[in-house]
Structure 1
Amino acid sequence: MTPEDRFPGPEQPHSGPRHQPDLDVLPYGSYYEPAEPPAGYGYDETHSGFGGAHYLEQHWPGATHQPVAAHPGDGHDEPASAVPAAAHEDPPTIELGPPLAEQQVHFPYPQPEPGEAPGPLYVIGDVHGYLDELRTALQQHGLIDAEGHWSAGRSRVWFLGDFTDRGPDGIGVIDLVMQLAAEAAAAGGYCRALMGNHELLFLGASRYGDEPVQSTAGTASFLAAWRLNGGQQHDLDRLEPHHVSWLSRLPAMALEDGHLLLHSDTTAYLEYGESIAAVNDAVHDLLADEGADEWWDCFRRFTKRFAFRGDSGPAAVHELLSAYGGYRVVHGHSPIPYLTGAVHNDDGAPPHVPGPYIYAEELAIAMDGGVTMEGRLLVARLPLN
């Protein structure tokens, strides 16, 4: 079975120009997880050099795995990958301040009746403002109808974060996800979302603007960083209090059917708590009560990437799974073409992304199909068998 058979068309719409660069940018370069690459490891290697990575259409173990334990005594701290030494620098962003005091809206999430299995589980990669592409992908998978309303019954849907920036209609994406959350709940399913680093960036640009924050790369601001990373002024102009309230309360991580759902492929989550609840509470408390520098630091940590790539990648995944449970990590954040080293084709054609990317000894699934770089906006049903 080819990738195209598993993830058939239609051809996704092209709703606007792609904004470069496609990785988050620091004052002086891109922000990666590791500091130095291991010997003999780099983009010039084949996919077999990326921890046994492969695309979805290849073999994937069934959902009978048990949660894994960390490898004792491996001395793992932060994995290495092929990056420039300048990657130590912090990204140029400003801290997100406390959310506006809005009454929290709670949607009911009905539980299955006795003996009734929960609905199918779907995950959706980074959208980055590409609303037309999102609608097309959701309709293709039967999650919405032709009018854009929930049509998936008791299905469970998780967005992995990064709704805004680079694309033409980030607020439109947020409005659609909020709408689907209400409609899914009424149908007995649910539609939920994680907080990505661009949610932190967008909220910070709104709250703190050009207020300076201190980083290891020097003075920066959320507004400058947001603009540098594809922020769209029309999104900021349309941001309303109910958007801020909803975005500020998104969880940082979740566990569904043994899948540990994260936005960023980083181990930085471990710095915020030893359980999923503790991490989510810590991030929410920080956004509600802490100042700009603390918020900046949170953005800096969740902008790290590539922790699961390379020889030490599986150990990083094991560390997260040991702390938070599950047997696989599913993440967005790092576009698949960057993970595979297939960013630029010799003929100048857009990168080919046949589907989700399985790597780190089949412990990690990457879901950012690189829609901002002419790739794909990925939707996948879990587990991937």
Structure 2
Amino acid sequence: MTPEDRFPGPEHPHSGPRHQPDLDVLPYGTYYEPEPAAGYQGTPYDAETYSGYGGARYLEQHWPADGQGHGHTVHAQGLNTDQAPEFPHQGQYDGAYEGQDVYESRDAYEGQDRSGYDDRAGYEPTLPDQPSPALQLPGRDDPPTIELGPPLPDPAAPTYPYPAPGPDEPPGPVYVVGDVHGYLEELRAELRHQGLIDADGHWSAGRARIWFLGDFTDRGPDGIGVIDLVMQLAAEAAAAGGYCRALMGNHELLFLGAAKYGDEPVQSTAGTASFLAAWRLNGGQQNDLDRLEAHHISWLSRLPAVALEDGHLLLHSDTTAYLEYGESIPDVNDAVHSLLSDGSVDEWWDCFRRFTKRFAFRGDAGPTAVHELLDTYGGTRIVHGHSPIPYLTGAVHADDGQPPHIPGPYVYADDLAVAMDGGVTMEGRLLVARLPI
């Protein structure tokens, strides 16, 4: 069986021009500083994977039945949702960027990278301790007992064909989704092809589990639409007995930084820049920034950086920089969330820079780097996004001028690593695959 047979793909609708080569860049320099079969029987409620990061519990409070969020525009210098001033997105490029070729050659990345919430507090609806005064009947010492039945269903609320799983039922299959980068129509087409959503774009996968590997925005036409879809599917999957969760990618850090800090200077190792300038250089879409609301920021800010699912260590970036943030999955996620909550602009920038490194698992030293992460955080194989497969394989340099051929996920580093970024921004493919591969 060929890889094409294993991972057939639909014809994707065209939703905008692709930008290639597809590597992240920094004003005045580069981010990249040189320096077996899954047998694990996990459950979706392991301490290292169970959390509200997928957004379902947040949506119970903030996402009405008609699917329309009601967040407010948020100030770019903070997360104050009580005000709705303008973002500082009117800042201009520094003159040094004008006409600059912002994409660097592949040769710059040949060096191997050797760098070094759990929020279980869910929403629990409660009934008042005392009956409503409207239920008290005058002239009676003992008012009649009124049985409170289930609330009347909202006729506008969606219905789900799948019941919640019983306590002894096993979890559903696991799927992973590579970098989307704003290509909403391609995402819908691939999820539909895999049977995970129906023709109307609603969850149809029952108790399946889906992990998005990060990078929802930038380069493509509708990053906010992608975020809205993932948040919607998180709520619908929870109601169906499955779940839809997501990791924080470096472009989430970049997008949040652009919204929070705008043109505020940061001290980078290659010169002074800003989040907003770097976001624009890396494909930031003004339409996404204009539509970013408080509930998007709250959801994105709580995404985990690392997760472990059925023996698969899920990361966004193919870097060992995660080791610099903790020796366990909860430690790493807590460190990143603490930084996003209380860190300075330079600490944000340093975190973004570290998680933008790549190619740690490629070459002769790649398996050793993979083992460092697996030995620290658990699992038998790493699944990641971030580095487009055409760059990992060299397919981007084809001489015939044709788009890169991406038959499916790329397994490498002695079969210890699986790359899921199919290069959708460079006329490659948006990948959705069931684990194990």
- Which residue matches 1:10? 10
Q: 2:332 aligns with which of 253, 264, 279?
A: 279
Larger relative contact order (Cα-Cα within 8 Å, sequence gap ≥ 6): 1
Work out the percentage of aligned pairs sharing the same amino acid: 82
- Which residue matches 1:325? 378
Q: 2:359 aligns with which of 303, 306, 315?
A: 306
Q: 1:84 aligns with which of 86, 105, 108?
A: 108
- Which residue matches 1:42? none
Q: 2:39 aligns with which of 50, 64, 71?
A: 64
Matches of 1:233 and 1:178, distance apart in 2: 21
Within-5 A mapping of 1:235-246: 235-246=288-299
Shift of 1:249: 0.4
Contact 1:254 1:262 in 2 (8 A): yes
Shift of 1:83: 4.0
Q: 1:216 aligns with which of 269, 291, 305?
A: 269
**Structure label with greater radius of gyration:** 2
Calculate the TM-score normalised by the size of structure 2: 0.72
- Which residue matches 2:285? 232
**When the two structures are aligned, how many residues end up with a matched partner?**
329
Matches of 2:413 and 2:124, distance apart in 1: 36
- Which residue matches 2:400? 347
- Which residue matches 2:189? 136
Local SS of the residue matching 1:192? strand
Alpha-carbon distance change, 107 to 322 in structure 1, aligned in 2, over 3 angstroms: farther
Matches of 1:9 and 1:244, distance apart in 2: 32
Matches of 1:198 and 1:13, distance apart in 2: 24
Shift of 1:192: 0.2
Shift of 1:123: 0.3
Contact 1:33 1:307 in 2 (8 A): no
Matches of 1:349 and 1:283, distance apart in 2: 40
Matches of 1:19 and 1:374, distance apart in 2: 8
Shift of 1:87: 7.9
Within-5 A mapping of 1:141-220: 141-220=194-273
Matches of 1:299 and 1:368, distance apart in 2: 19
The alignment status of 1:371 with 2:424, answered yes or no, reads yes
Matches of 1:63 and 1:145, distance apart in 2: 29
Within-5 A mapping of 1:15-26: 15-26=15-26
CA RMSD of aligned residues (A): 2.2
* Deviations 1:315-347, CA, capped at 9 Å, x for gaps: 000000011000000000000000011112211
Calculate the TM-score normalised by the size of structure 1: 0.81
* Deviations 1:217-245, CA, capped at 9 Å, x for gaps: 01010000000000000000000000000
Shift of 1:115: 3.4
Local SS of the residue matching 1:16? coil
